[in-house]
Amino acid sequence: MQKKTAAKLLAILAIFARIWTTTGSAHAGTRAIDTCTHTPADVRLMAATGCFKAYGDEVRACDTRADGAGAWVGLYLDRTSSPDLLLTSVFAGGEGNCKTTSKNITEGSQVYVKVCLRKDGRNGVCRNSRLGEA
């Protein structure tokens, strides 16, 4: 009886493993590259960070200082022959607060994050990350 139960459990786990590893929206390509950046170091008393995580196509914004400005992070598709395309953005305000969003991106796409200090609905100082790959 225990052998049959164990065999059934293993079969169920194998099915779940196969489903989980073949789900398209959370699967990153073999060359997937995460990328992060922060606002320039010469900006005194203000700081924000942003990252793109290839597995799950997540974009994260973090406000790292109590300065009255929040962190705005945009994820852009890098296009060499035309203007880059904003795919999604996220905002986090308040020291220590982070927000995450996700968007299904075609595997192999070249992307980067733009991190800006945002105050009163307007972006101020910004910095772009190096290229990442979905």
Distance CA 48, CA 45 (A): 10
| pLDDT tens-place values along the chain, 134 residues long | 444 433 432 333 233 233 223 333 344 444 578 888 877 655 554 589 999 999 999 999 999 888 889 999 999 999 877 889 999 999 999 889 999 999 999 999 999 999 999 999 999 889 999 899 99
Domain extents in the chain: 28-133
User: The domain 28-133: what is its CATH number?
Assistant: 2.60.40
Residue for token pair 């733009």: 114
pTM, two decimal places: 0.71
Distance CA 100, CA 47 (A): 17
